[in-house]
Amino acid sequence: MRVLVLRPEPAATRTARKLVALGHETVLLSLSKPEHDIDAVKAALAERHSAIAITSAEVARLFGTIGDDLDRHLLTTIFSVGQASAHAAEEAGFRTVLTPGGDGKDLAEMIVAHCRDFGMPAEPILYLAGLPRARSFETRLTEAGIPFRTVEAYRMVPIIPRRTATETALLRPVPDAVLFYSRESARAFFELPPLAEIPERFLSTLMLCMSANVAKAVPQRFAALTVVASSPNEESLLDLL
């Protein structure tokens, strides 16, 4: 299959390697890139906190850029949204990384259960977040009365690819499948000129979504070919191919 990957780098290249190993032809078209706020993360780590929560592997990779300032925090418990984030946190040197292996709601429920078993933390949980993001994680912690502080560690900046690059990726030939990892990338994809001008060209393309929330950004005309992964992780998404 010819599979279009919309992820930002370097995640896009890692996904491409997996797809090639599975025998697929891979096309990369990044529609966003991360901008890290290292100073905000350093300042946040300097304030008192009981644990650190992350809902993106992008934050975990950011840890590797902090340097020696991170060393005194490596015994802090990390609550991580999924296996990719957890692995990245472990690679950064954190000793205790807990993950439910699901999405933000699952992570919040795990923290709620942890607080129920061990008591409310004396200091707030430091939530290192991205922008844009879903608010379900923060909403659930607030409902449970768990103290936390949100600090935006990075933001995703849109990339507008050249028309020639877009047409090469989308029309030469039309992909058999597109992988959507985020609602924002799905929304940006359907605004690209080839989709906006003649969407009928893509009515045979599989729209494969990481979660039901991501699938909400797919226009109704593509509903028949929209498939949601059984779990919100890359392994489940690639299993749809």
- Specify the pLDDT at position 39: 93
pLDDT at residue 69 above 90? no
Reported as a single tens digit per residue, the pLDDT across 146-197 is 999 999 999 999 999 999 999 999 999 999 999 999 999 999 999 999 999 9
Mean pLDDT of 19-44: 95
pLDDT value for 99: 93
Confidence band for 82, pLDDT divided at 50, 70 and 90: confident
Percent of the chain with pLDDT over 90: 80
Task: Please tell me the predicted confidence (pLDDT) of residue 27.
Answer: 96
102 contacts 28 by C-beta, under 8 angstroms? no
pTM assigned to the model:
0.85
Token pair 């499948």 is at which residue?
Answer: 177
First to last CA, the chain: 8
Average pLDDT (4-33) is 94
For residue 105, the number of C-alpha atoms closer than 13 Å in the C-beta half-sphere is 6
Q: Which of 88, 82, 79, 84 is nearest to 102 (CA)?
A: 82
For residue 231, name the pLDDT band (cuts at 50, 70, 90).
confident
pLDDT at 110: 95
User: Is 3.40.50.10090 the CATH number for 2-31+159-238?
Assistant: yes
**What is the CB-side half-sphere exposure of residue 91 using CA atoms within 13 A?**
15
pLDDT of residue 66: 86
pLDDT in tens, 85-132: 888 899 889 999 999 977 888 999 999 999 999 999 999 999 999 998
Listed in sequence order, the DSSP H helices in the chain are: 11-21, 38-46, 57-62, 83-91, 104-118, 136-144, 163-171, 183-189, 193-197, 212-215, 234-238
Element housing 150 (H / E): strand 148-158
Domain-by-domain residue ranges, the chain? 2-31+159-238, 34-156
Band the pLDDT of 47: cuts 50, 70, 90: very high
The whole-chain average pLDDT of the chain stands at 93
Fold match, 2-31+159-238 / 34-156: yes
**Position 181: which residue type?**
Y
Q: Would you state the pLDDT for residue 13?
A: 94
CA pair distance 224, 214, nearest whole angstrom:
15
CATH 1.20.1050.10 fits 34-156, yes or no: no
Query: Residue 57's pLDDT is what?
Result: 82
State residue 83's pLDDT score.
Answer: 84
